[in-house]
Amino acid sequence: MTRIFALCNNKGGVTKTTTTVNLGYGLARAGKRVLVIDTDAQSNSTYSLLGTLDQEVTLFDVLINGARISDAIMPSSQNGLYLVPSSINLSAADLLMASAAGRELKLTRALKQVSDFDYVLIDTPPNLGVLTVNAFMACTDVIIPIALTTYALIGISILETTMQELRENLDVPLPIFGVVANLDDHTRLSTDVLSAVREHFGELLFDSVIPRNIKVEEAHNQIACLFDYAPTSTGAVAYNKLVKEVIERAEGH
């Protein structure tokens, strides 16, 4: 069975994209077949994986124009890692899809056409609009990335309320698979926020806490795979550990 993770947090800049991309690389390098779906009009994961933003068929065409998702899937430079690219016109999706029948289920339907992946990772925008709701409906589990900065937990109640409403109204299980704490700079503040996150989420918090590490940002900006670009960096080591934890939680080994 394909495990479909939606990486969601309505707060901006909390490392949804970075975690999606590095999990994608890490899982693919562990021999898994991985599909990243970029549902954010900012197209950051598309750029990070492909280095360009001029794809002929994008998620917009799949969701709005009825294109086949298989026609949108692009290979990345990493063996086993594929991408459904985003594009800037996806920023109009909320408006364009507002009156479409079954608008919450467009991505679910599209994903029914793909079966040959072990993991699908859905990167989402920093809001709870129709694209994030599509990600919630299409996923088997949610991964919540959290930045260990001030206010980290404030937006979480909105996220949790939205997820609870979907569970009740649209009849989806929507379990939280795990919570990734990121941007740890070992200050008093991040240590305090980490304690609060651990208290709130308990066992759901992954043991691997990702440090703030310039190599992570550099790899992302240079369209490079962190595990090749800076394999011994604190960021790569922490992400490697996270990949192992994800596989262990998902597959039980």
Of all helices (H) and strands (E), which one includes residue 21? helix 16-29
Contact segment (CB under 6 A) with ligand ATP among 27-35, 81-89, 151-159, 212-220 equals 212-220
By a kind-dependent CB cut-off of 5 to 8 A, residue 32 interacts, out of ligand ATP, Mg ion, none, with none
Question: Binding to ligand ATP (CB under 6 A): which residues in 55-114?
Answer: none
Q: Which of 3, 11, 16, 212 binds Mg ion (CB under 5 A)?
A: 16
- What residue has token string 């026609």? 71
User: What span, in angstroms and rounded, lies between the C-alpha atoms of 192 and 182?
Assistant: 13
Binding mask 142-181 for Mg ion (x = CB under 5 A): ----------------------------------------
Question: Binding to ligand ATP (CB under 6 A): which residues in 171-200?
Answer: 182-183
Q: Is 14 in the site for ligand ATP (CB under 6 A)?
A: yes
Binding residues for ligand ATP, rule CB under 6 A, total 20
Q: Give SS3 for 219.
A: helix
Strand bridging mode 141-147 / 119-123: unpaired
Q: Which of 29, 84, 220, 246 binds ligand ATP (CB under 6 A)?
A: 220
The C-alpha angle 52, 58, 59, rounded to 5 degrees, equals: 125
Residues 6+ apart with CB under 8 A from 252: none
Q: Is 210 in the site for ligand ATP (CB under 6 A)?
A: yes
Q: Which of 26, 28, 34, 40 binds ligand ATP (CB under 6 A)?
A: 40
User: What span, in angstroms and rounded, lies between the C-alpha atoms of 159 and 89?
Assistant: 25
**Count of CB atoms situated within 10 Å of the CB of 132:** 22
Q: Which of 15, 39, 149, 208 binds ligand ATP (CB under 6 A)?
A: 15
The minimum distance between CB 123 and ligand ATP, in angstroms, equals: 7
Q: Is 44 in the site for Mg ion (CB under 5 A)?
A: yes
Q: Which two tokens stand for residue 42?
A: 């900012």
> CB of 154 within 8 A of CB of 225?
no
DSSP H helices, the chain, are 16-29, 44-50, 59-64, 93-97, 106-111, 130-138, 156-170, 188-201, 214-221, 226-229, 234-251
**Count of CB atoms situated within 10 Å of the CB of 187:** 12
Nearest to ligand ATP of 63, 236 (CB atom): 236
Q: Is 17 in the site for Mg ion (CB under 5 A)?
A: yes
Q: Which residues bind ligand ATP (CB under 6 A)?
A: 12-18, 40, 42, 44, 126, 182-183, 210, 212-213, 216-217, 220, 235
